[in-house]
Chains A and B, each alone.
Chain A
Amino acid sequence: MAQLQCIVVTPESTVLDEQVEFVALPLYDGEIGVAPGHSPMIGRLGYGELRLVTSGQSKHYYIDGGFVQVAANVVSVLTKRAMPAAAIDTQVAAEHLTEARGRRANSEELLAARDRLERQARAQLRVAQRAR
């Protein structure tokens, strides 16, 4: 069976480079699944869960925005931060969420920044909960 090569890079390191059967990615506006033979695509990522499926086993990662490029059965994910779902500290994420919600947002930029932080924290919590 054809396989996908999934590469996850952050500015600090190459987090992951594996052969997988299926990848699910959090796009900016919803999730997308990539199976072998997917048409070439470039997408903007949101905050959320990256799921890798290899022979029925799935692995969960949290990724923090960025881009994905799919071509010739290679999925390259460029993100600011990537970590295994098990490594998420839910307490810290929850703190971030309450902190973000308590922020003042009296201008458009501040509102956007608050929304971003909130989405980020919520996504972390969601990924951590699903992995459990």
Chain B
Amino acid sequence: MAKARALDKRRKSIRNIRKITRTMELIATARFKKAMDRAHAATAYTKRITRLVADLANSGLEVKHPLLEGREQTQRAVLLVLSANRGLCGGYNSNVQRAGFTRFAELQAQVSELSMEISGKRGLAAAKFRGLPISESFTHFEDKPSFQQVEVLANRYLDGYTAGTLDRLDVAYMRFENVSRQFVTVETLLPLGALEGVETQQGATQSQYEFLPSAGSILEEVVPTSFKVKLFKCFLDAAVSEQVARMVAMKAATKSAGDRIRQLSMQYNRARQSQITGEIMEIIGGVEVLKK
């Protein structure tokens, strides 16, 4: 009976694991839907900002802002890596970390002062393990990063950039394209480069809009705002991708647990069968002996 019982025990424990992974999959699905809605809402905002910038550019205003222009010499750079607080989401964390740490090594060769900031416990642990210096860490961004939280960070970078203590900001995160496609991106957010919407119809200088107080003043405000929204979008994308990755990983885990259970059930039935056969043989053998 020993072997059959051991198999049954293992089957039970795998069943428990399957229950857990299935629950985690369901939770990830629910969170993913919520995160997705938020990402959509942010897109509505960015679209309008882009339209506004296009209208500004059409008014014949020269789009110029300190945040849009790079420095002659990049000396101080910050690399922000967005990882998750929790594991069990497939290759999500390791992919982001690999890309982030590779960029870290590249930047280290280029700039004199480089600091790395990490969001998420997983990334922190990995950086500590590799002995990389961490200047700042955040673990309060869960699956619903709020704009206010991100704005605090954004303001710090903006202040640093205008004060000259920061020349470049790179962000490593998992970009979300659709449910089946997410990829690791390392983006340079500061300097901003060009604003989206600027390149449309440069010729048309006649604008229908009246600017209050003036186009220049609005531009002054638009540029930092679009930086903040861009950074916020990175956080949202990271959150959505994390949930997708977890969903996929847990689905796979549930499936392989099911396969394992089926396999063990078969083994268990065979072991039980052969045990019964053995017992019958013993009885028959005994009877045969008594007959003689």
Chain A interface (Cβ within 8 Å of chain B)? 9-14, 27-29, 32, 39-44, 65-67, 69, 71, 76, 78, 80-81, 109
A41: chain B residues at CB < 8 Å are 209-212
Interface contact A28-B213, CB-CB below 8 Å: yes
Quick one: CB contact mask for B140-162 with A, threshold 8 Å, 1 for yes? 00000011100100000001001
Chain B interface (Cβ within 8 Å of chain A)? 38, 41-42, 44-45, 48-49, 51-52, 55-56, 146-148, 151, 159, 162-163, 208-213, 215, 217-218, 221-222, 225, 228-229, 232
Interface contact A44-B147, CB-CB below 8 Å: no
User: B163: which of A32, A78, A109 is its contact (CB, 8 Å)?
Assistant: A109
How many A-B residue pairs lie within 8 Å, measured between CB atoms? 84
Interface contact B210-A10, CB-CB below 8 Å: no
User: A69: which of B41, B45, B52, B225 is its contact (CB, 8 Å)?
Assistant: B52
Interface contact A43-B38, CB-CB below 8 Å: no
In angstroms, Cα B232 to Cα A40, docked, is: 30
CB distance from B204 to the nearest CB of A (A): 14
In angstroms, Cα B222 to Cα A81, docked, is: 16
CB distance from A22 to the nearest CB of B (A): 18
Given contact pairs A76-B48, A81-B148, A13 touches B41 in the complex (Cβ within 8 A): yes
B212: chain A residues at CB < 8 Å are 27-28, 32, 41-44
Residue of A nearest to B233 (CB): A11
CB distance from A93 to the nearest CB of B (A): 15
In angstroms, Cα B208 to Cα A12, docked, is: 30
Interface contact B48-A78, CB-CB below 8 Å: yes
Interface contact A42-B56, CB-CB below 8 Å: yes
In angstroms, Cα B163 to Cα A22, docked, is: 42
